[in-house]
Structure 1
């Protein structure tokens, strides 16, 4: 069994069902690109190793972690290489602790003829990668926290790689276009650990660049910086706003009760959306067990919030000027965004496979608490609706857009 996450390496990970012998391929001693861990339960140190390999300070293209091997290269007898163990390690990528999420593969392999688990980590295209707000690196056979110089090297290296659109600089923009008070008071403390902040003597420009919010050379704000902190994001990204319309009927020919456009950065928009959605919810009495009644909203706020945040996270900001839309009818709510399936996601697997058009934005939204866990948005919507007594959500996934319909209970 080989688990693939976010990459398309074709390196013979499996050959006619035979497990690879790694001792001759990777070596038998720990190096800057090879780390040994004794067992699957060492999850925190494995997370640090994944983070360090993804940051790839030595510039080797990533690295490898062998689980089931002692520091001296001997194999732990009876190491657990079950499917469950592989899934446990693979899930470290999607739990939201390591941001931006690295590309990894997890497989069974042999080391000196003994079974082990092999984790291969691809170098990130958008370093520095952080674990719980701390960047880790592996310049030698030891993993350690990145110092400011390490982070600056990683930030500079990021510029030379092909970046997702949310990492691109916006020419003509600058710190004057960003809400720096919002950065200092809200985002910085959500993205970087308190311990690192206390010993951090870098300038604000360096902090912005390290968090992918500003280009380190030009001083231009990035797409991510504008989306998260922009004073007026639509001045550089015309489609970066939300249109809300409430109709007094079941179609768009009926009278409009409320019509609003939210043209603000993601952090401010989230607060405004919370109040807006709550203001339009109505509650109803529902009979429970035949003897008692309880009050339930027309729609669970959790499902509405999850659907809207997914729309903002996955939308196409690069080539569409259309907004994300929330259309509220008397019998349903339709939430849509420009931008259809991306990467490994297709119209027939969108509820089982996840990929990210805006990976840095996804990481930022996880830092801010807008996303609970990667790859769980659809299941969370379904669960919230079921608990509230609403019908199943209806999804429409097309080449150029994505939409979900939530119906009243």
Structure 2
């Protein structure tokens, strides 16, 4: 594009393909424009242009375009808030009156595109949120542009082949903005279709729908599983120690794989780096290993009967998926250029939190592996029908293992040494104790080890940890209770050298009760910092009679109010924000409010996610 072409765009004041702005910081506005142009509701098949540095009348504001601004606008493509990923090019143009940043947005084949769960479109020269009829148009446009396997209908499958409750309870709240979801009165078929999981023309789920929420995905896609094998050697000719088949829909299996990597693949060992400090070394770093496996599941070819292979040898891990590099990705540009064989699956995994920023994962993987002493992963790009990566065990971890294996017995060994049977495998000690940071049942622990709940296994693996006070029962007075669980003690924490930060992060990830209480206490602390006061709701206008209300005057008789609800059935504490008008503080919770502002409340307020809603009132 030339300067003359940019001037033509500036002077076209009626075009619905151009948005001008003088703001350089309004990220929401920029992302909404990108989303709307990508959706291309009129189906013009022409690019849209976001022009920063221009007034509404087409004149220049005198902006100086910085490198940071260029990076920020280009970053919209890959920050994961606009999904599926848009196609954007960013260019700077210089004129006598100032500079312009012009972002050209290509219309997408995979509509509807959403920004933070909302579908934005252009209605003439302005932006708007799509209604149901407009969303239907975008869905039909996507269907007409289908060119990916996951978007095709899964012939022979019907709605009953999907776990729709899983879709509604787990996926929808993460994929769609809460306000939009609250107003969505469509049936589940329409909701599935709006996200690419159902095809109404054939009255059938798409392949993506079966993969994400299918009750039995292998019935339709025989290769849709991950095969884990652990070998007692350096190649596949060695004896097999363990073998698992992770089969089922991705919505459930991904979390199991995530936990399996954390508890059964990753071993953590403390390494002294000074007299007062230790560093934790991993045989395989959790995040890097998880990222490589999730990439294999996301990018694989689901039309084949072959599974994803997750093979662990004594000195390395190999992960292989059917299907080599796809689309624009080539051996000569990997990993700088990527493309998506399964764009709907990729979007779904992003929504669920299993993949992060697009096209950054491999770079971060290599960095983490090098820092941990594993060396860089090796990618085999020469396989015609598959893609594989090899991750080597950390040399630091191997060195520690060698020293421990060959350590001579001494009277000066740790006080803990005498407590243990020398035949007891220390790897299991660490695994069980770390696993029991959150209370676990006997069955949970044996599943972790790949063993049955037989008494001999209990006596070998759990009883020694109880006898040495590294584990304790949650119901010590009822040792044989079916509700019995086991949790690590302070002595066990000291033995494993687990930091408070590590324990907190682990509980935040795996203990819903702890996480809920932590987030509750964090928000209550913020209420105190924000100068909010507490009363009891005697009228029940917000969340019921007797509920706690926290309030703050934000000016002109307007009050920011949080109602507090304890939901033991959900292991959750729910805070709902409101803005209401009262004559004075004394009326809050005692009389009817004068007015309440609609559209503000965001059910189950999350400090990290929703702070921007209230920022202007509390800072």
TM-score of the superposed pair, with normalisation by structure 1: 0.90
Within the candidate set 135, 157, 160, 1:151 is matched to 135
Verify the 8 A CA contact 2:63 2:100 in the aligned structure 1: no
* 2:275 counterpart of 1:298: no
After TM superposition, give the deviation of residue 327 of structure 1 in Å: 0.5
CA distance in 2 between counterparts of 1:120 and 1:111 reads 19
Q: Any idea what SS the aligned residue of 1:172 has?
A: coil
For residues 230 and 58 of structure 2, the distance between their equivalents in structure 1, rounded to whole angstroms, comes to 64
Quote the residue 2:435 is aligned against. none
Query: Does the alignment pair 1:370 with 2:354?
Result: yes
Q: Deviations over 1:295-328 (max 9, x none)?
A: 433111111111100111111123x221111100
Q: Which moved more, 1:199-208 or 1:91-100?
A: 199-208
- Tell me which moved more, 247-256 or 206-215: 247-256
The answer as to whether partners of 1:23 and 1:112 remain within 8 angstroms in 2 is no
| Cα offset, 1:66, TM superposition | 1.2
Q: Tell me, in whole angstroms, the C-alpha distance in 1 between the residues paired with 2:204 and 2:10.
A: 41
Contact residue 109 and residue 116 of structure 1 kept, 8 A: yes
* Contact 2:10-2:58 at 8 Å conserved across structures: no
User: Does the 8 Å CA contact 2:197/2:209 hold for their aligned counterparts?
Assistant: yes
Q: Distance in 2 between matches of 1:148 and 1:328?
A: 49
Give CA deviations for 1:197-245 in whole Å, capped at 9, x if unaligned.
Answer: 1111111111111010001322211111111111121222222111100
1:107-146 equivalent positions in 2, closer than 5 A = 107-109=91-93, 115-146=99-130
> How far is the alpha carbon of 1:41 from its aligned partner?
1.9
* Gap change, CA 1:291 and 1:239, over 3 Å in 2: same
Equivalence for 2:257: 273
Kept in 1, the 8 Å contact 2:146–2:152? The answer is: no
Asked whether the equivalents of residues 243 and 262 of structure 1 are also in contact (C-alpha less than 8 Å), the reply is yes
- Cα offset for 1:400? 2.6
Aligned to 2:372: 388
Q: Distance in 2 between matches of 1:20 and 1:333?
A: 56
List gaps (5 residues or longer) in structure 2.
395-619
Aligned to 1:312: 297
- Given that residues 61 and 97 in structure 2 are in contact (C-alpha distance below 8 angstroms), is that contact kept between their aligned partners in structure 1? no
Report the CA distance between 1:344 and its aligned residue.
Answer: 2.0
Q: Distance in 1 between matches of 2:95 and 2:200?
A: 42
Q: Does 2:118 match 1:170?
A: no
Q: Tell me: CA distance 1:20–1:257, structure 2 relative to 1, closer, same or farther (3 Å).
A: farther
What is residue 55 of structure 1 aligned with on the other side?
Answer: 39
Asked whether the equivalents of residues 323 and 387 of structure 2 are also in contact (C-alpha less than 8 Å), the reply is yes
| Aligned partner of residue 138 in structure 1, secondary structure | strand
**1:288 paired to 2:288:** no
Conserved? CA contact 2:221–2:302, under 8 Å: yes
- Aligned: 1:326 with 2:307: no
Please give the residue correspondences for 1:206-285 in structure 2 after superposition, counting only pairs within 5 Å: 206-277=190-261, 278-285=263-270
Change (3 A) 1:86 1:136: same
Deviation readout 1:22-75 (Å, 9 max, x if unpaired): 232574315322111213322210100010111111221242221111122221
Cα distance, 1:287–1:111 mapped onto 2, change above 3 Å: same
> How far apart are the structure 2 equivalents of 1:342 and 1:64?
29
Residues 300/22 of structure 1: CA separation in 2 closer, same or farther (3 Å cut): same
1:367 CA displacement: 0.7
The answer to whether the Cα contact below 8 Å between 2:35 and 2:114 also exists between their aligned partners in 1 is yes
- 1:268 aligned counterpart, secondary structure: helix
Task: Choose from 55, 60, 85 the match for 1:70.
Answer: 55
| Range with greater deviation from structure 2 (274-283 or 182-191) | 274-283
Larger Cα-atom Rg: 2
TM-score by length of 2: 0.60
- Could you tell me which of 2, 20, 24 is aligned with 1:36? 20
Range 191-200 or range 341-350, more displaced? 341-350
Deviation at 1:257, TM superposition (A): 1.0
1:187, 1:368 within 8 Å by CA — same for their partners in 2?
A: yes
The one-character-per-residue Cα deviations of 1:348-390 (angstroms, maximum 9, x if unpaired) are: 2212222212122111111110112111111221233234332
Greater relative CO (CA pairs within 8 A, separation 6+):
1
Structure 1 stretch 323-332 or stretch 83-92: which is displaced more? 83-92
1:110 and 1:167 map into 2 onto residues whose CA distance is: 43
Mean Cα deviation higher: 282-291 or 48-57: 282-291
Aligned positions, number: 391
SS in structure 2 of the partner of residue 197 of structure 1? helix
CA–CA distance in 2 between the matches of 1:377 and 1:112? 41
Structure 1 vs Structure 2 CA RMSD: 2.0
Distance in 1 (alpha carbons) for counterparts of 2:96 and 2:134: 35
Q: Is the 8 A contact 1:30 1:36 kept in 2?
A: no
Contact 2:60 2:97 in 1 (8 A): no
Q: Whole-Å Cα distance in 1 between the matches of residues 51 and 138 of structure 2?
A: 25
Partner of 1:335: 319
CA distance in 2, matches of 1:174, 1:38: 50
SS at match of 1:395: strand
CA distance change for structure 1 residues 265 and 142 in 2, over 3 Å: closer, same or farther? same
Q: Which has the higher helix share?
A: 2
Distance 1:38 1:376 in 2: 30
- Residue aligning to 1:191: 175
